[in-house]
Chain A
């Protein structure tokens, strides 16, 4: 008997369920008449249960009672909240800083306030729209996970799918007249590639740009601030560039104009220049009265020269490596060239051809050093081979001469 009890206890602990749940009449009854995906079945993975909370902590009532009618009579019983009631229902604990300190002190307690500022919150409370997202739309019901849990709907790898439940559903979104291609576009972006292919969970997904509880689309003026949270140097350069004023005057979104918003492709050198596929030609032409095309052409030329110098240095260095020469110093130098190339590409956001050219020149000089040193190493390799050839010929002549000498000596000494 003791053995069986221990086994059950261990099993329950393994499931992460507090032992008191075993005496929870709410769960016992609901478990029997609910389907496999009902709340009482799913709740084992819920972070609240894992933190030691039970059904009554949210829904009220008394878990020791086994008659549902009696449960409903208990003071404080709340049952199931309506769609509109859900935010306040959750906020009862989540907005209580003192209460939350005992359970998850790192978690912010201003979610409800933020939610009220969001499009979702404004429509729910202002227009009583039953279709907008509330807490459980994103966090699920009874299977609520911490964002660090891989199965959680708010884990970075699941966010796009969570938001996409509604935002990728054209029928559902029809009345709001906003696009439904964001998730598909995002999945093709450099950010999604970093997240899903590179396994980098810090790569941006929906909530990193749009916020989570205060979900709002970035406006034209705030877009560079949103991108600039991560791409700070680019944002800084852009803000000091002539494009800043021109974009503001024409009401162009800052980063999005060249990079798009959701379908952000990996930037390439071909994006800058005076000819398609460069994005510069989308706005500029040779006779538009600005220096745009000339600057684009100069910037493209400077980067192209640096890339060519780098590639040539790289190929010569590889040849020296393949020939077995000592190339450690040159490998470090080539890394410097790569670093300068990254800096030059970043400087594109200043749209200042002179500063790009000046940085590129610095890289080209370093690349030239690698080139000439690699050529010297390759020459050294051939010099060694020639030296070996000459030495071998010399030694062979000596061997032959010595052999003749030995024959002569043998003839003199032993012929008799």
Chain B
């Protein structure tokens, strides 16, 4: 007991020292006052936290990979091979980085749809929604720019197709493509651009936007279900954000960490359609592999563009598709401003649109892999 007392004394003194300078008590009190609604769909509240956790994993493993990765047409592939074959636990770091990237995008997508279908984007959360959409876009750009970095055959040809699609954007497409590629073709210069984007530009913007997103959530609190609008205060159940929700969040993070560890160790190169074997080094003069597929989260768009005829109403098919996706994306982004219903009402047309989007993404993705 005496020992424990010493520890407690040391801890108490340390806490007091920090508290005096940084007013930790105020923060704990603030978080302790915050309440999280408890109801049948509370499980969905953890999706944002899961996304955050996976992003943290991305940052940590990404920094570790950065220690050995060397961008460039003559060194990128070789350095990734070195990481996987020679660096202690290099294979595990690359595997975790790839798995958590895929899981993060999945979690972000689920988080977004949950927010959409529970109307959690409504006033006063318009900016939270917009920053969330921004984060999703950045996450997709992370995925796209990271895919090329190993400079292997699959990455090379997928990037050529992906950047080629950007070239179909009206007016600015050609310039966008040249800026992305660092020239007319996918070359060593493209690796340099994607590397800069992946490890400096995107993380910088992402961190600022993520901080804003988290501050908004902290200031606004968790959104309450539509059905609660008419309930009396006594009929609503809450739990404290700190420590109850934080501890549960931690529990979920541990479970996700374990899932991540199992996946990373058992399937270091991914599995099925979520697959990132290093394979052969990119050779711009080699014929493209028989099947060039984008990553699964781009598959629906890729498949939809493939299905379009060569021309739709005098517009080139691919361009028509891109315009349609642009309009759809804009509607989706502006949802908080289109939904004018009261807090206790459901927006039926928008929900129908939402279900259409979900069905479209699922159908196109499945078709993309089966056809």
Cβ-defined contact, B240 with A413, below 8 A:
yes
Which chain B residues in 54-79 approach chain A with CB under 8 Å? none
Contacts of A414 in B (CB 8 A): 239
Closest to B248 in A: A406
Give the Cβ gap from A155 to chain B, nearest Cβ, in Å.
Answer: 32
Interface size range of chain A in the complex: 20 to 34
Residues in B with CB closer than 8 Å to A406 are 244, 247-248, 251
For B84, give the chain A residue with the smallest CB separation. A326
When A324-B268, A409-B244 are in contact, do A392 and B85 touch as well, CB less than 8 Å?
Answer: no
Q: Tell me, rounded to whole Å, the shortest Cβ–Cβ distance linking B125 to chain A.
A: 27
Residue-wise interface mask of B (249-281) relative to A, using a CB-CB cutoff of 8 A (1 in contact, 0 not): 011001101100110011011000000001000
CB of B88 to closest CB in A, whole Å: 10
A136 interface hit (Cβ, 8 Å): no
B147 at the binding interface (Cβ < 8 Å): no
Tell which of A49-57, A265-273, A359-367, A396-404 binds the partner.
Answer: A396-404
Q: How large is the interface on B (under 10, 10 to 19, 20 to 34, 35 or more residues)?
A: 20 to 34
Residues of B within 8 A of A328 (CB): 81, 85
- Does B302 count as interface, using CB distance less than 8 angstroms? no
Q: What mask results when residues 174 to 189 of chain A are scored 1 for a CB within 8 Å of chain B, else 0?
A: 0000000000000000
Main secondary structure of the interface of B (DSSP, over half): helix
- Find out whether the CB atom of A403 lies under 8 angstroms from the CB atom of B85: no
Chain A residue nearest in CB terms to B278: A326
Whether B91 sits at the interface, judged by CB under 8 Å, is: yes
Q: Which of A22-71 contact B (CB under 8 A)?
A: none
Minimum CB–CB distance from B117 to chain A (whole Å) comes to 28
In whole angstroms, what is the CA distance A406 to B250 when docked? 10
Contacts of B84 in A (CB 8 A): 326
The verdict on A385 contacting chain B, using a C-beta distance below 8 Å, is: yes
Which residues of chain A are within 8 angstroms of B269 by Cβ–Cβ distance?
Answer: 324
Q: A residues within 8 A CB of B81?
A: 326, 328
**When the two chains form the complex, which single residue of A388, A402, A410 contacts B254, counting CB atoms closer than 8 Å?**
A402
B243 interface contact, C-beta 8 A = yes
Q: Which residues of chain A are near B240, meaning CB under 8 Å?
A: 413
Chain B residues near A398: list those with CB within 8 A: 254
Give every chain B residue within 8 A of A399 (Cβ-Cβ). Answer: 251, 254-255, 258
Residue of B251, B257, B266 with most partner-chain A CB within 10 A: B251
Chain B residue numbers with a CB within 8 Å of A324 are: 268-269
Determine whether the beta carbon of A392 is less than 8 Å from that of B262. Answer: yes
- Bound together, the chains give a CA A395 to CA B256 distance in angstroms of 10
Given A387-B265, A388-B262, A395-B257, decide whether A405 and B239 contact each other with a Cβ distance below 8 A: no
A244 within 8 Å of B (CB atoms) = no
Chain A residues lying within 8 Å of B278, measured Cβ to Cβ, are 326
**B261–A391 CB distance below 8 A:** yes
- Interchain CA distance A413-B265 in the complex, whole Å: 40
CB-contact partner of B265 in A388, A396, A405, under 8 A: A388
Given contacts A326-B85, A395-B257, A396-B258, are A413 and B244 in contact (CB under 8 A)?
yes
Of all chain B residues, which has the CB nearest A395? B258
- The interface residues of chain B lying within 8 Å CB-to-CB of A403 are 251
The answer to whether residues A409 and B261 also contact, given A324-B269, A328-B85, A399-B251 and a CB cut-off of 8 A, is: no
- B91: A residues at CB distance < 8 A: 326
User: What CA separation (Å) do A221 and B60 show in the bound complex?
Assistant: 76
Decide: B254 and A409 in contact? CB cutoff 8 A: no
Chain A residue numbers with a CB within 8 Å of B251 are 399, 402-403, 406
Q: Is there contact, CB below 8 Å, between B254 and A392?
A: no
A329 to B269, CA, bound (A): 18
CA distance A396 to B254 in the complex (A): 8
With both beta carbons as reference points, the residue of chain B lying nearest to A392 in the complex is identified as B258
Determine if A231 is an interface residue (Cβ-Cβ < 8 Å): no
Q: CA of A414 to CA of B238 in the docked complex: distance in angstroms?
A: 10
The residue among B250, B258, B266, B278 with the most chain A CB atoms within 10 A of its own CB is: B258
What chain B residues lie within 8 Å of A395 (beta carbons)?
A: 254, 257-258, 261
Once the chains are docked, how many angstroms separate the CA of A192 from the CA of B109? Answer: 63
A161→B143 CA distance, assembly (Å)? 64
Measured between C-beta atoms, what is the minimum distance from A255 to chain B in Å? Answer: 42
Mask, A194-235, CB within 8 Å of B = 1, is: 000000000000000000000000000000000000000000
- A residues less than 8 Å from B254 (CB atoms): 395, 398-399, 402
**Contacts A328-B85, A392-B258 supplied; 4 other A-B pairs, CB < 8 Å:** A326-B91, A385-B265, A395-B261, A409-B244
B residues in contact (CB < 8 Å) with A: 81, 84-85, 91-92, 239-240, 243-244, 247-248, 250-251, 254-255, 257-258, 261-262, 265-266, 268-269, 278
The 6 closest A-B pairs by CB, nearest first: A388-B265, A326-B85, A395-B258, A402-B251, A406-B247, A399-B254
Which residues in A have some Cβ–Cβ distance to B below 8 Å? Answer: 324, 326, 328-329, 384-385, 387-388, 391-392, 395-396, 398-399, 402-403, 405-406, 409-410, 413-414
**17 residue pairs from A and B, CB less than 8 Å apart:** A324-B269, A326-B81, A326-B84, A384-B92, A384-B265, A385-B265, A387-B265, A388-B262, A392-B262, A399-B251, A399-B254, A399-B255, A402-B250, A403-B251, A405-B247, A413-B239, A413-B244
